[in-house]
Structures are given as C-alpha cells and as structure tokens.
Amino acid sequence: MRPEILNSLFAPVSQLEGIGPKLEKTLTRLLTGNEHGQPARIADLLFHLPFQIIDRRRQPGIARSPEGAIVTLKVHVDRHRPAPRGNKRIPYRVFVHDETGEMAIVFFHAHGEWINKSLPVGETRYVSGKMEWFNGQPNMVHPDHIVSVEEFANLPLVEPVYPSTGGLSQKLLQRSVKSAVSSLPELPEWTEPELLKRQAWPEFSKSLQRVHEPRDMLDLDPLSPARKRLAHDELLAGQLALALMRERMRKTQGKSRSFTGSLKAKILNGFGHPLTPSQAQAIEEVLKDMEQPERMLRLLQGDVGSGKTIVALCAMVSAVEAGGQAAIMAPTEILARQHQATMEPLCTAAGLNCALLTGREKGKAREDVLARLASGEIDILIGTHALFQSHVEFRDLALAVIDEQHRFGVHQRLALGEKGTATDILVMTATPIPRTLVLTYFGDMDVSKLTDKPAGRKPITTTAMPLERLEELLARVAMAIERGEKLYWICPLVEESEELPVMAAEDRFKELESRYSGKVGLIHGRMNTAEKEAAMAAFRNGDTRLLVSTTVVEVGVDVPDASIMVIEHAERFGLAQLHQLRGRVGRGEKPSSCILLYRGPLGETAKARLNILRETEDGFRIAEEDLKLRGEGEVLGTRQSGMPGFSLASAEHHGDILEIARDEARLIVATDPTLEGERGEALRILLYLMGQDQAVRLIRAG
C-alpha cells in the first residue's frame, strides 16, 4: 500500500486548480511522453525542473533599454492607436513614456476592450517584456506582464523556464508547477542528519521550492546545494532498490549446476567462427557463476557486433544440460525474431527444442507453446516482455537472459527471474556503459566485457558531409545500388514536424523512391509488426536495396551484406546512438562506410561528437566521451537509447553523490533490511515517491 501521505502527489494533474482535460492531455504528453497513457501525476510536475531563468530585474528606462533585452519599465500611458477597421495586418499600438523617452507597446490581433482595461490612458503601469528597436524607435511587442503600481510587488522578477511542448505556454506551465509545489505535504526526513550537515543540504521540500523559485541561475546549477540534495534522493532510491534486489537474490537459495560442456561444444561447432579471447573469457565467467550455489546476477557488456548472442547461447544450453530450461527476453519483436533466426538452427542441430513467444502469438499456437513450456518439452524460449506475464509457466527455469537491459526496469528483470526457483540471471547490453552508469542502473553487479571484434568484422570508414552536398551523395547512392550494394538511410523523425526543421523518413522515402523506383523500402516504429517484418525481409532478400528507417533498426538488426549507412541530421543524435546505428554495417565481407549527413553550422558539441565518431570505433571510449559531452539526457529531443534519463540527478554532474548513495544503500540493507522504525518508514516513502515501489514489495515478499 502506498503511504497515505503521498496520495495527493499521485493524484492526476487535473486535481490542480485550472487544469482541465485539454491541458491535462498536453501536460501528460510533456511529462510522460505518451498522451494516451496514464494521466500525468502531480509528482511528475514537481520533478519537471527548469533549465533557465528569465530575469526581469533590469529597469533601465525606455531610452537606455538595449535591443533584444528583457526589461521591466514603469511607464505613463499617453494614447491608444487601434488598428483600422477591417485591416488586421496593422497592429494596435499604445504609446507610453517615462522620464527617459517614449515607446510604442504593440499588439497583433488584439481585443481593444482588454487593452483599454490593461493600459488605461493617464494611468501608470509596469510592463515587462523584450525590447525591440525599429527605425530608431523603441517598441515592446506583446509584453509578458502588465501590472498596476499596487500589483508590482507580486510581479515575479525572476521566472523559471521549463522544457515545454507545442501548445503549452511558459505561463501555463509555471502556474501548474507552482500549484503542484504548494500541494507538497510535509514529508519525514529520510537522510542521515550527519550527512545533511556535512553537505550543507536543505530539506527535500525546501530544495524543490528553491529550484522552482530560483533567485538566479546559481539555484539551477546542478552543483547547487538544492540540486545536489534532490539528486541524492533520486539516486538513493535507485541504489536502495538495487541493493534490496541483490539482498533478495542472495537470500533466495541458488543452485549449483553441473554440465560436461558437450552441448556447448556442439553449438560452437555449428557456429563455425572462432571465439574471440573476450568471448571465451565471458563464457567461462558465466559458467563458473552457474556452478556456484549462489544465484548469478551478471551483466554482459559488449560493443555493437561484439558477439554477445553466442555467449548467451552457450550459457543457455549449459543450463539445459544441467537439467533446466532457459529463456531470453528482448525489448522488441524484431529483435526477438532475429534471436530466433540466429539461435534456432544451432539449437536444432544440437538436438534442442527452441520456441518463440511474443504478443503476436495467439490462440492455439500460443496455447501449444505454453503447454510444451510447462511440460519441459521446450528447452529454450525466446520472446518479448510477454515472457513474464503471469500465465507463462516453466517446468524449471534455470537461466533468464535479458537483452538490451536498459529498456526493462528492475522489477521486470526480477519478474522473469521469479519464474523459476533459484533462477540465474544474465543481463546484456550493446551500449557500452561508463562505470558511473553501470553503478546507477545495475548496482554492484558482476560485469563481463566483450572488448574485441569477432573475426571477419571489417573496419568502417566514417565521413561527415554537409546537407548542401546531398546531390553528390545521391549520385554515389545510385552507383552503389547499380553495383548491388545494400544501404540504410536513417532519419530522425517518422513524419514531418512543424517544430523541427528536419527531414522525416516518410518524406525521404518518397523522394528516394521517385529516383530509384522499386529499390527502396521504409520501416519505422508506427508500422505494425507484420509491415516491419515485410520491409526487413524485402531488404534482407535484396528485393529492396535501400532501406529508409528511423532509429528502429538501431538494436539487433542483422543484415550482413548491408555495407553503407547514411545518417541524416547526424547532429541531432547522441554519440552512443550514432555508434549503435553505424554498427548495422561492417558485418560482412565488403568494406563498409558510414556517412554522417549534417545541417550546418554545427555547434561545438555536435562538432566534437562527429569528430570522435570519425576517430574511433571503440564503443567504450565513445560511451565515456558521450557522457562528458552531454550527460545521459539528449538535449535535442532524441533520447539516447541506452540510458533512461533521471529527472533530478545527472550522471555527469553527480558521480560523487552516486557513490555516497551507494554506500548509504549498502549500510541501510546491512542494518535494516526490512526498513522498520522511523527512518525505515521515511525510506519507504522515498521509494514510493521516486517510483521504486517494487522494492517495497520485495521486502514484504522476502
């Protein structure tokens, strides 16, 4: 049960004054990324932090106001000049003066009645907005605030600026957040008084207030006391959830598994490629873990194309040889079917039964898989999150492999492990993760790294090219298609957007199809699974030669003879994402290339990003550089695949706090694993508040 004190914060935002159904939908889109899902909650507004301020403290007088500056002016209203009747293109002007000079306040499509009421002739008013000089005359177009002398005391002279979305003004957003902050109940303190004193951190509620009501930019600095306090609370909740999960896994008895290695030998024999040294070492580490009486919880990190799948398969067949079953869970159906295509022939040759279970398997076929799974006839199950639904039952799940782990939460990771008794867990990620982030997302897991490329992988030549040279590139694409090569063309969006001046996949597809008729395919996230599969199959078979796509192909898509990757608007992608996309080529015999098509002029960060990509193919170096350049959140709106962003903490700024939170979490679990007593109760509130309530259920179940 959620603590009663938090109920008001978990209420939908529509409970706040002034938020109707339309605004609720817009806020839900902004705060959760999905306007059709669960409505945004008041807590989501609390944790939506400003990134900038508008400073209205400057009051230089009309004549001394610089062009483009935000100023606040005390003016006398002289006269109104309404727009001529029937001509809406000419604005309504109100002329005002102060002791330094005169200016016009300009309104387009304005209501005369409202303007007369706001700026009555002969009265004094404060106006605040951006100053514009036109033909030597000062103007203020649509001031942000107009207040009387009496109301001036309530004018916010420093205003927070929040990340927003189309159709949502800053004024509305500020008002909504203010309303959320005022509804914050008095929460008990969950942090050790000694730590608060040492770090000079304010209380949780005071920290939130300070950030939402900044006095200057220092209050928004990630290293300010208020921001560090909030980051600590979010990181502590995450570390505590991970520590409780580890404790639970340690408590639930593991099982020592023994195997001769004969099935693994059959798989490697059918695989036909020599293992790289790091693949061989990773397999050895995983199998050694499985032989121990404690449950395994290991992270396998491998760069794009480093051959994680064969490591996972060797572990799975070893689990089967020890008398159990194994399952691998992938985040998308495309990736699950890809695993099936790779693994099934090898398993069949070794005499093992493999099956697939995704949301698409229905009716009799699904019932058949479930029955064979429960009886133990199926040795290895491949699927999506459909695997951890309650009616999926294994006879004896010995090993659960979770692919592209960052797309699943801690509790989903656990849910699959709960399908068996003493189930070992191996999680894999193709995004090389800097150490700070490994700690953040995985806690103290044992880590195996695949650092070398499998034999036969060719280096990829990477070049950057401005969009002005598009025609030249298209001519080269035509020649490549003539030679029978296969190419990917990646776009950042599915369809045209008014907000972003970038080429969308659907538009690029139409244009390329008109040039290379019948040779072009299209795939994006809004297509249904059957359409996506048909597009991939046509590309694989060579019916189409050029596949236009969004980042849906970023993970796990394997077409070995694709040799050219074009990434349009490369400046809009995170480094790790560019590296992932580039890894779709260079998998076959042909020399491969990646062309980063960008729109200039490039900012410093974008320039650095493209340079690093041209210099190296080492995913671990790229991951570290990526973190330095931009942290985990993608500024331009393309969220880096790999790291679910924090609301309050930032891995790049708060690494030291992460270490503090990890040590705290360890101590808490060692001294009070069931979170009893006054501080324990407060910590439970923190876990619920930060969306880590699954951890509380672990305590109850444990």
pLDDT band for position 702 (50/70/90)?
Answer: very low
- 262 and 297 in a single domain? The answer is yes
C-alpha 246 chain-centroid distance: 25
Q: What's the mean pLDDT in 404-416?
A: 58
Window from 126-135, 446-455, 563-572, 642-651 with minimum mean pLDDT: 642-651
- 284 and 420 in a single domain? The answer is yes
- 608 and 492 in a single domain? The answer is yes
- Domain-located, residue 425: yes
Q: What is the pLDDT of residues 607-631, one digit of tens each?
A: 888 899 998 888 778 877 777 775 4
Domain final position from 549, 581, 616 = 616
Which residues contact residue 125 at a Cβ distance below 8 angstroms, ignoring those fewer than 6 apart?
Answer: 74, 75, 77, 96, 118, 119, 146, 147, 148, 149
- Domain-located, residue 244: no
Given a cut of 80, whether residue 552 has pLDDT beyond it is no
Answer yes or no: are the C-beta atoms of 242 and 442 closer than 8 Å: yes
pLDDT at 323: 94
- 442 and 297 in a single domain? The answer is yes
- Domain-located, residue 621: no
605 to 107, 629, 676: CA distances (angstroms): 38, 7, 48
Window from 286-300, 402-416, 665-679 with minimum mean pLDDT: 402-416
pLDDT band for position 559 (50/70/90)?
Answer: confident
89 exposure class (CB count in 10 Å sphere: 0-12, 13-18, 19+): exposed
Given a cut of 50, whether residue 641 has pLDDT beyond it is no
**Average pLDDT over the chain, rounded to whole?**
87
Strand partners, 12: 41
DSSP string, 618-629: -HHHHHHHHHHH
CB atoms within 10 A of CB 126: 19
Alpha carbons 689 and 647: distance in angstroms, whole number: 12
pLDDT at 432: 67
CB atoms within 10 A of CB 413: 20
Look at the alpha carbons of 672, 678, 680, 681 in this order and tell me if their dihedral is positive or negative: positive
Given a cut of 50, whether residue 497 has pLDDT beyond it is yes
Count of structural domains, the chain: 4
Q: What's the mean pLDDT in 191-207?
A: 95
pLDDT at 516: 93
Given a cut of 70, whether residue 440 has pLDDT beyond it is no
457 DSSP assignment? P
> b/e for 154-166, b at 16 or more Cβ within 10 A?
eeeeebbebeeee
Strand partners, 298: 426, 446
Q: Residue 71: which of 92, 57, 83 has the closest Cα?
A: 57
Domain final position from 616, 645, 674 = 616
Which residues contact residue 21 at a Cβ distance below 8 angstroms, ignoring those fewer than 6 apart?
Answer: 14
C-alpha 331 chain-centroid distance: 14
Given a cut of 80, whether residue 437 has pLDDT beyond it is no
The torsion angles phi and psi of 536, rounded to 5 degrees, stand at: -65, -40
Q: What is the pLDDT of residues 240-267, one digit of tens each?
A: 988 888 777 777 777 889 999 999 999 9
- SS3 label, residue 84: coil
pLDDT at 227: 96
Look at the alpha carbons of 244, 245, 248, 253 in this order and tell me if their dihedral is positive or negative: negative
Which residues contact residue 258 at a Cβ distance below 8 angstroms, ignoring those fewer than 6 apart?
Answer: 291, 322
Alpha carbons 511 and 219: distance in angstroms, whole number: 48
- 131 and 43 in a single domain? The answer is no
Given a cut of 90, whether residue 190 has pLDDT beyond it is yes
Strand partners, 130: 70
- 261 and 402 in a single domain? The answer is yes
pLDDT at 685: 96
- Domain-located, residue 695: no
Answer yes or no: are the C-beta atoms of 426 and 296 closer than 8 Å: yes
pLDDT at 634: 33
- Domain-located, residue 349: yes
- 433 and 494 in a single domain? The answer is no
CB atoms within 10 A of CB 542: 12
Residue with tokens 């992938």: 330
Tokens representing residue 597 in the block: 């098509």
Window from 373-387, 422-436, 562-576, 597-611 with minimum mean pLDDT: 422-436
In degrees, to the nearest 5, what angle opens at C-alpha 568 toward C-alphas 565 and 574? 90
- 570 and 552 in a single domain? The answer is yes
154 DSSP assignment? G
- Domain-located, residue 656: no
Q: What is the pLDDT of residues 219-247, one digit of tens each?
A: 999 999 999 999 999 999 988 988 888 77
User: pTM for the whole thing?
Assistant: 0.64
360 to 265, 366, 552, 553, 646: CA distances (angstroms): 34, 9, 18, 20, 32
124 to 64, 97, 110, 150, 609: CA distances (angstroms): 19, 10, 21, 10, 53
- 211 and 264 in a single domain? The answer is no
pLDDT at 636: 20
In degrees, to the nearest 5, what angle opens at C-alpha 272 toward C-alphas 270 and 277? 115
* End-to-end CA separation in angstroms for the chain: 16
Window from 52-61, 105-114, 195-204, 431-440 with minimum mean pLDDT: 431-440
Alpha carbons 38 and 631: distance in angstroms, whole number: 28
The H-or-E segment that residue 307 falls in is none
Q: Which residue has the higher pLDDT, 665 or 554?
A: 665
Given a cut of 80, whether residue 644 has pLDDT beyond it is no
- 171 and 216 in a single domain? The answer is yes
Domain final position from 415, 450, 485 = 450
Given a cut of 60, whether residue 498 has pLDDT beyond it is no
- 478 and 538 in a single domain? The answer is yes
Answer yes or no: are the C-beta atoms of 554 and 334 closer than 8 Å: no
Given a cut of 50, whether residue 642 has pLDDT beyond it is no
Q: CATH code at 487?
A: 3.40.50.300
Alpha carbons 245 and 675: distance in angstroms, whole number: 14
CB atoms within 10 A of CB 111: 11
Given a cut of 50, whether residue 701 has pLDDT beyond it is yes
Look at the alpha carbons of 111, 113, 115, 118 in this order and tell me if their dihedral is positive or negative: negative
Q: How many helices (H) and strands (E) does the chain have?
A: 23, 21
- Domain-located, residue 603: yes
Q: What is the pLDDT of residues 113-151, one digit of tens each?
A: 999 999 999 999 999 999 999 988 999 999 999 999 999
pLDDT band for position 632 (50/70/90)?
Answer: very low
Given a cut of 80, whether residue 681 has pLDDT beyond it is yes
pLDDT band for position 406 (50/70/90)?
Answer: low
Q: Which residue has the higher pLDDT, 445 or 106?
A: 106
- Domain-located, residue 403: yes
Given a cut of 70, whether residue 413 has pLDDT beyond it is no
Containing structural domain, residue 201: 4-54+162-221
Q: Residue 299: which of 417, 423, 414, 426 has the closest Cα?
A: 426
DSSP string, 350-408: TT--EEEE-TT--HHHHHHHHHHHHHT--SEEEESGGGGSTT---S-EEEEEESSGGGS
Percent of the chain with pLDDT over 70: 90
Alpha carbons 543 and 516: distance in angstroms, whole number: 13
- SS3 label, residue 668: helix
Answer yes or no: are the C-beta atoms of 384 and 333 closer than 8 Å: yes
CB atoms within 10 A of CB 167: 12
- 314 and 382 in a single domain? The answer is yes
